[in-house]
Amino acid sequence: MPLNQRRCTNIPKIEIKKKVIIVGTNAVGKTSLLNSFINRKFDFDYKATLGVNILAKQYPLNDETTLTFSFWDLGGQKLFRNIYPRFFAMSNAAMIVFDVTRMDSFDDIMNWHTTIINYLNANIPILLVGNKIDLIKERVVPSSNGLKLANEQKFIYTETSAKTGENVDNLFKKLAETLAKPILDSYKTV
């Protein structure tokens, strides 16, 4: 019987803790995405992340399993990139966020990917997130560009709007399922 259907009281609760780094060019909406997911709000005043902003969120996967995210939201300005190695350590997943209204942020994705690979030396799930899809008239990066790059690099691709909340829950659900699957699968074989 699948883990999410068991109702026995003697089954221990499973608590999973995972660290996720969130990177991308400055002003693409990394912090806004986190605020939309964690606090269910959007702040219209832009405040640059200086260095790193660390947030946590408990995410129930089912009655028996909770995943606790530790999000490390890294400032996108180039002057902070020399301090990244210590922030990347022990990360279980990464999100690379770009702004669909700024081609420069899309063009910077592979630089972020290279940084992740260089600092982690690990094969972790990477989610590519096209943010600000609510700005339809200003959009310059077509969905097809994001999908093509995601397929080539084996990223998980999602488009969101931190402002309206569109696809934000789906993004973090994909992240939670991706991180929890190996652990939950191991319980199924017991």
Q: Domain extents for the chain?
A: 3-188
Tell me how far the alpha carbon of residue 119 is from its chain's centroid. 17
Q: What is d(CA 132, CA 161) in angstroms, rounded to the nearest whole number?
A: 5
3-state DSSP: the chain helix, strand, coil percent, rounded to 5? 40, 25, 35
Question: What was the pLDDT predicted at 1?
Answer: 45
pLDDT of residue 189: 56
Asked if residue 102 lies in contact with residue 28, where contact means CB atoms within 8 angstroms, the answer is yes
Amino acid of residue 38: I
Which of 120, 127, 130 is CA-nearest to residue 178? 127
Digitized pLDDT (tens) for each residue of the chain, 190 residues in all = 454 554 545 556 889 999 999 999 999 999 999 999 998 886 767 565 655 788 999 999 888 889 999 999 988 666 666 667 788 889 999 999 999 999 999 999 999 999 899 888 678 999 999 999 999 999 999 999 999 999 999 999 999 999 999 999 999 999 999 998 877 766 665 5
Q: How much is the pLDDT for 171? A: 96
Element at 85 (helix H, strand E): helix 84-88
Would you state the structure tokens that stand for residue 21, as one six-digit string? 């780094």
pLDDT score recorded for residue 12:
62
Question: What pLDDT is recorded for position 119?
Answer: 87
- pTM, two decimal places: 0.86
- Count Cβ atoms below 10 Å from residue 185 Cβ, excluding itself: 10
Say which CATH class 3-188 falls into.
alpha beta
